[in-house]
Structure 1
Amino acid sequence: MEKNFNLDSTSGKVVSLDDFKGKYLVLYFYPRDNTSGCTLEANQFSENYDDFKKLECEVLGISKDSIKSHLKFKEKENIPFDLLSDSDKIVHENYGVLKPAKMYGKDVIKTIRSTFVFDKEGNLIKEYRDVKAKDHALEVLEYIKSL
């Protein structure tokens, strides 16, 4: 599975995994900007962002939404970290976070809420798949503290 990526971010830069060498990185995939679970998750990562930073850890959120949508979401919810746009779903596919589902009787491809933690050398050290939004950020923070 190809872990590296080059994605547009809300900072206006193209971001890759290599940009975070020397820090821990939390990369969390979420289904959609401005939905209840995704807002809850973003807010909890935001509320604990200073604690992540103190542990030399960066947080990035990633979804299929556009940068324009991300910028509105970031501003509305006061999110202090970058959000990445993977509108062509290539990174989602590489990380295995898409699954077919039915919504209102139609076939759709859904994002499975998942988080990946990388060490300071850029190695994947922890995966959380199909997580619940509530308190997930705290669980990830506790894991980073344990390293």
Structure 2
Amino acid sequence: MRAVVQRVSHAAVTVGERTTGAIGQGVLILLGITHADTTDDGEWLAQKIAKLRIFPDEGGNMNRSLLDTGGDALVVSQFTLHARVRKGTRPSFNDAAPPAQAEPLYETFRAQLSAALGGRPVPGGEFGAMMQVALENDGPVTLIVDTKA
């Protein structure tokens, strides 16, 4: 699994005119799933993200996590994170897991992250839909976390 984790002041995802998820202070996670990913990858990633110390402490140093701050998490599936662009100008998405494999792992990851955050709800986008994501990046702080790296 590959995640782009962005610290945000707020974020929301919409499908058409319907908001499927919105958060205040916390992280927006764009999640890409590949053929080799399993629920163990999701568990490792959920624990890692919950404990990432990317929020400022009283001195302004990045020493606090989502667990420390009570921040929110919003997860949006994004198969394009596994695009290959080495050859030509049209991305290849062959490394992305097919929807029948990826969707259950996406939903399981959201549940795993919720559990890692003490049961707080983790809203998300709509798997496979054309979505609009609005966010206010805080910092900016943006990390790429890959379970295979």
Q: Structure 1 length as normaliser, TM-score?
A: 0.40
Q: Structure 2 length as normaliser, TM-score?
A: 0.39
Structure with more strand by fraction: 2
